[in-house]
Amino acid sequence: MSTLPIKLKIHYYGDAVLRRRSRPVEGVGPQEMQIFSQMEEVMRCAGGVGLAAPQVGLNKQLVIVDVGEGPVALANPRILKKWGSAVVEEGCLSLPGIYVKVRRARKIKVMGLNEKNEKIVMVAMDLLARALQHEIDHLRGRLIFDYANFFQKMRLKKRLKDLKARLHALCLPDCCRQAATK
């Protein structure tokens, strides 16, 4: 089994990797399984409910979410259908301390490859649907900040600038130190 050369860590606002469109993976093999495992560890350590590969510096279409019902890991996830909508305030591990009200579907049908490299289609509702949509946004280079209206963006700009400077100064080497930025 191949190993990842480095321990994964969260990348923060200002890092160009967060704005890139992620590349699909050819399938889920040993390396992707290892990435899923490390992503889950980073997500739990940081106290999140979801994480996408770009958030740990990888240009791959991989996401993992766990809203309390067990982890759901998907490669190349694609939303097939959406139902309903709700506006809920969201945070993001890559934007610590920043919260934005985001309108998302209440229920979605999503397709992707699971950890066994099997093509699956699942229906997700409520928090699971929201978390999956949030992480899939990351695969397209989209952040919660992008959902803010003009006035919200103006209010958030200074906070984002301060966040970027603070995170740059800290150069956090480990996902568990992320809590120090809150």
Residues catalogued as catalytic: 135
CA distance 154 to 139: 25
CA distance 123 to 52: 19
36 and 64 in contact (C-beta within 8 Å)? Answer: yes
Phi/psi of residue 157, each to 5°? Answer: -55, -45
CA distance 69 to 84: 22
> Residues with Cβ < 8 Å from 139, sequence gap 6 or more?
21, 22, 52, 53, 54, 61, 63, 77
**Extended beta strands in the chain, E state:** 50-52, 62-65, 72-83, 86-90, 100-104, 107-113, 119-125
